[in-house]
Amino acid sequence: MTTLSHLECSLCKKRHEAGQAHNLCECGGPLLVRYDLQKARENWSREWLAGSPASMWRYAPVLPVAQPESVVSLGEGFTPLVRADRLGNAMGAKNLWIKDEGVNPTGSFKARGLSCAISMCVELGIKKVAVPSAGNAASATAAYAAAAGIEAHIFMPRDVPQSNYIECKAMGAHVTLVDGLISDCGRIVGERKQAEGWFEVSTLKEPYRIEGKKTMGYELAEQFRWDLPDAVFYPTGGGVGMIGMWKAFDEMEQLGWITSKRPKMICIQVEGCQPVVRAFEQGTPRSEFWQNAYTVASGLRVPKPLGDFLVLDAVRESGGTAIAVTDEEMLDAGIELAKMEGMFAAPEGAACIAGLKKLLASGFLKAEDRIAVYNTGSGLKYLEAYSTRYPRVAGGEADKLGGLITPR
């Protein structure tokens, strides 16, 4: 099933053996999964994908799970790539496409990473997992852990979207709400995991979530008939989706499936939390912790991404860029997308539309460029954020979102 070879540290390049539970390398670097791509090239063809499952597991030879019975799947992946002509024409982008990850199980792209990570937990015999999350990773962890019969311990900021909290509780996870940010949640997991016997599935602190997320890159290539677009917009909190896609492009080139052509990788953040944008502008290899991080897009409220150096590498090597938008620009762009294309995007995805406007206006991108925007989740999970644009009225008084309207 898999052509998994070994794990490799992204910093010191030390080799780690597969078939064991790993978190970070001893040097503190995230581990990346490596495959025998020559073997895969000899025994697997992109033409065979026509008969493969309509999920991310169609790419099983370059995913780490060795035993088919270990796979925990809820139908994640193979999401639609939708041409957005009305919005594109209004913005001056003649060839605009949106990859809609909001149709995944639990409503976001996080389903990909957690399907892969929890599947590896099953294969490695892990019985308890813990994760700090800004929201959607928590929902996905709870769902896949429930499907696998694994105990899930979840730590989220107290102001996490209500949908994420309710999902996790409904799926039987042990949920702790924390007064603070995702970084504070991560600290608690780190302090308690050894005593509690938890395996940590935090972003990049285990090697397999990135493998599920990289399938977004494989799908993009397949759906564009193996000719990658000119630019890819990706909202960046932890940034693992972009890191995974960049890894996927390299793997596909080694497989002989695509050429060396790469899209400009464009990192989108928000003004209230833009550590990667600041590092890009300053030309530094790593970001600094962003103090007092704030945004209504909970997935973008990550003050210090662990894999910031890998995101910055992808952006710089591709000739891309990193920019920030305001919360107001983001929400307005989300409403514009909904009105013109019938797609209700998460604020994180909407931020990409706001960023696209800026880069078209500046001339960084041209009207004829083929542009792919990733909407990473469903807007239905962020009703609190969008409610600021549409306050309800009941009995003459504003009705708070989530409250009850009393019949007259």
- Mean pLDDT in order along the chain per 10 residues (408 residues): 94 93 94 97 95 96 97 98 98 98 97 98 97 92 98 94 94 95 92 95 94 98 98 96 98 98 98 98 97 93 95 98 98 98 98 98 98 97 91 54 40
Residue carrying structure tokens 């499907």 = 147
Domain 81-107+210-386 has CATH 3.40.50.1100: yes
**DSSP class of residue 141?**
H
pLDDT of residue 393: 55
Residues 182/155, Cβ–Cβ less than 8 Å: no
Residues 348-391 have pLDDT tens digits of 999 999 999 999 999 999 999 999 999 999 999 999 999 988 88
Q: Distance (Å, rounded) from C-alpha 27 to C-alpha 12?
A: 7
- Cα–Cα dist 282/239, whole Å: 19
For residues 78-111, one letter each, b for 16 or more C-beta atoms within 10 angstroms of the residue's C-beta and e for the rest, the string is bbebbebeebbeebebebbbbbbbbbbbbbbbbb
Domain extent listing, the chain: 81-107+210-386
Distances in Å between the Cα of 33 and the Cα atoms of 21, 64, 65, 71, 228 are 13, 8, 11, 17, 23
Query: For the segment 332-343, what is each residue's pLDDT rounded down to a tens digit?
Result: 999 999 999 999
Residue 330: count other Cβ atoms within 10 Å of its Cβ: 30
Q: For residue 400, what are the contacts with CB-CB under 8 A and spacing of at least 6?
A: none
* pLDDT value, residue 105: 97
For 342, phi then psi, to 5°, come to 70, 25
